[in-house]
Amino acid sequence: MNYAEFTKALAGLTPRRKEVLMKVLAFKTDQEIASQLHITEATVRKHIADTCVCFGLSRSENRRSSHRQELFSLFTKYSPGLINKDAVYSTNYPKILISYYQGTEPDKSLALELESALKASGYEVFIVNGSLRMATHGLQQIYAELNQCDYLLLLLSTLAASSEMVTEEVRWAKALQDTRPDSKPGILPIRINCPSHLLNHDLRGYLRGMPQREWRSPNDTPNLVQGVLEFLASGDNPASNNSSFVPTPELPRENAQFPNPYSLTPNHPPQPVAEPELPMGQVELASAFYVERPGIDQRCYEAIAKPGALIRIKAPRQMGKTSLMARILQRSTILGYRTVPLSFQLADSKVFTDLDQFLQWFCAVVALELQLPARLGDYWNGIFGSKVSCKSYFERYLLANTTEPLVLGLDEVDRVLQYPELTSDFFGLLRAWHEEAKNREIWRKLRLVVVHSTEVYVPMDINQSPFNVGLPIELPEFKSVQVQDLAQRHGLAWATSEIDRLMVMVGGHPYLVRLALYYIARQEITLSQLLETAPTDAGLYSDHLRRHLWNLSQHPELAAALYKVVSADSPIQLESIPGFKLQSMGLVHLRGNEVTPRCNLYRDYFRVRLAPSP
């Protein structure tokens, strides 16, 4: 279900069903709802079942099944502001959620000290750690607590900084902030011996503009605890300019006792999300572990040098799309072009609610990256409409103020595809700009790199879509020779048999391969140990697998479709949209109409975790 379908289903509910739904989202029991609305509990349950059918969460043959969690997941995704709307809190003190990665030191001790101090001051505290994330119903509990808490106290060690699950929790907290009038929950980041440059890109983007404290030794604990208590007592918003949550000054990077995360010898785990922007000075993304795909990188470098170029990079998540885009932008900079990397994943949700607001945001961000004043009022005219104003802004202002070609790297455009009311207009605009370059000199300056993982199944006029023009690039998995090369770069003298053993489990998935090689190279695990526990919650890939499970729990129809795939011993056929979505998530291979698990890691893990309860 997409946003438009969700909105239509919500609008189509009868007043009574909507009334019952609001009580459910306020965590009321059937008995409480029946009492408050003066109806029977059986009637309550019937209204809930009918509502689930309206949202596509159940069919007539399984109406008796409970789908409350799926309802919460759906509203968590599309309308979190309705959750807990009229819930009554048992205390006037804020509810604090403390999140840390796992029960290792010093994370655990600091979390316990903060919990003790907060409880002693009367606050209600809930702890999220590695054990809860792996618990049977842990993800559902985290959903509920994030929806109810006032503040998220985020403890970020170097492991947490590269954790996919921690990043998902912060992403969800940010989504809640965007939809709530009180901008709750407030996020208080505390980095534990973790300089900011070690945060993965998405996490750094979500925390941008927020004051961050840093813990460097046990001597910092008393002042840190006191600072948190003083901040909570003030009632400030941590992101406000006047917040009492004073950030810790960052150590100069050249003097900090932390190795470069992209140096030749691996000292930190591979990041789950690559860096789209070009760093200043030395380009750290020219990493010793970046593997060029034969014929792909060079084709992109040649294409971007052509006037009016449009390069479309498509692949599932964590396959190297953003890394390739960064190198295209790097090559453009070497050629003397102006470059603007823009990730839609980092935009606030409210930006996508209106085409005019979205296009103004888009223009303003590009101007900001080019170090130009926005001046939207000089070029935006409501009489002509948003798209004409946007085109005028680029043509008469942005392109007119540069003599060099301008390369826009548009990353995570899947975010835009979630809003069908924007999709056709925005992508039609990009296509129009590309076509203008064939006829007008000024538009020949503009070159576009569009990065996405989602199959574009939103209906669009073939003559208005940018997804059927330009240079299409679809990134394949690594082949065994490339995995062998990566192993050598990690200092591992592996034979073909060892390469084959790893690839039987994870295929040629770039991130999964690199994660294995990193820990094996550091002698923290052997290949045999890794393979034995890989498809379990105790294995190396637990965090990665739990993130997928988290996302699938919000889309029961995809979870059911994936279970069919992993349970089959041979390729099966799915309806087109579930197949496309599972492929975009990187969980399956889609060849024609036949669907298979992307690798045995996913087959073995999800065959167990998605199995119906007996």
Beta-strand relationship, 213-215 and 151-156: unpaired
CATH fit for domain 543-609, picks 3.10.450, 1.25.10, 3.40.720, 1.10.10 = 1.10.10
pLDDT-derived band at 238 (thresholds 50, 70, 90) equals low
Class in CATH terms, 95-234:
alpha beta
Model confidence at 73: pLDDT above 80: no
SS3 426: helix
Please provide the average confidence, as pLDDT, over all residues in the chain: 84
SS3 358: helix
Secondary structure (H, E, C), 545-606: HHHHHHHHHCCHHHHHHHHHHHHCCCCEECCHHHHHHHHHCCCEEEECCEEEECCHHHHHHH
The mean per-residue pLDDT over the stretch 227-236 comes to 81
Class in CATH terms, 297-474:
alpha beta
Model confidence at 264: pLDDT above 60: no
What is the DSSP secondary structure assignment for residue 612, as one 8-state letter? P
Q: Which regions of the chain carry the CATH code 1.10.10.10?
A: 3-82
pLDDT at 26: 80
- In 463-556, where do the E strands start and end? 471-474
* φ, ψ for residue 104, nearest 5 deg: -110, 165
Model confidence at 251: pLDDT above 70: no
Beta-carbon count within 10 A of 467 CB: 20
Alpha carbon separation from 592 to 455, 508, 574 (Å, rounded):
14, 20, 11
Return d(Cα 492, Cα 446) in angstroms, integer. Answer: 44
Closest to 543 in 3D by CA, of 293, 357, 269, 344: 269
Model confidence at 263: pLDDT above 70: no
Enter the tokens of residue 105: 């030191």
Percent of the chain past pLDDT 90, that is, above it, reads: 45
Class in CATH terms, 3-82:
mainly alpha
Per the listing, tokens 């790097």 go with: 330
Highest mean pLDDT (candidates 343-347, 352-356, 393-397): 393-397
SS3 230: helix
Enter the tokens of residue 314: 């498509």
> Cα 592 to the chain's mean position, in Å?
28
The mean per-residue pLDDT over the stretch 519-543 comes to 93
Element (H, E) at 611: none
**What are the residue ranges of helices labelled H in 12-137?**
15-25, 30-37, 41-54, 68-78, 107-120, 130-134
Q: Which regions of the chain carry the CATH code 3.40.50.360?
A: 95-234
Q: Is the bond preceding 211 in cis, omega lying within 30 degrees of 0? A: no
Element (H, E) at 364: helix 355-369
Identify the bridge partners of residue 588 per DSSP, sorted by sequence position.
597
Model confidence at 231: pLDDT above 70: yes
Listed in sequence order, the residues at least 6 apart from 8 whose beta carbon sits closer than 8 Å to its beta carbon are none
The mean per-residue pLDDT over the stretch 266-290 comes to 51
Q: Give pLDDT tens digits for 407-426.
A: 999 998 988 988 888 988 99
Question: What is the widest separation between alpha-carbon atoms in the chain?
Answer: 73
Q: How many residues does the chain have?
A: 614
pTM here?
A: 0.74
Element (H, E) at 448: strand 446-452
Pairwise pLDDT comparison (531 vs 58), residue with the higher score: 531
pLDDT at 381: 87
- Residue 301 · residue 331 · CB < 8 Å: yes
Percent of the chain past pLDDT 70, that is, above it, reads: 84
Return d(Cα 373, Cα 375) in angstroms, integer. Answer: 6
> Cα 492 to the chain's mean position, in Å?
32
Q: Which long-range contacts (CB under 8 A, 24 or more apart) does 137-145 make?
A: 139/546, 139/549, 139/550, 139/553, 140/69, 140/72, 140/553, 142/169, 143/72, 143/73, 143/76, 143/172, 144/27, 144/72, 145/97
Listed in sequence order, the residues at least 6 apart from 329 whose beta carbon sits closer than 8 Å to its beta carbon are 278, 339, 341, 407, 409, 449
Model confidence at 92: pLDDT above 60: no
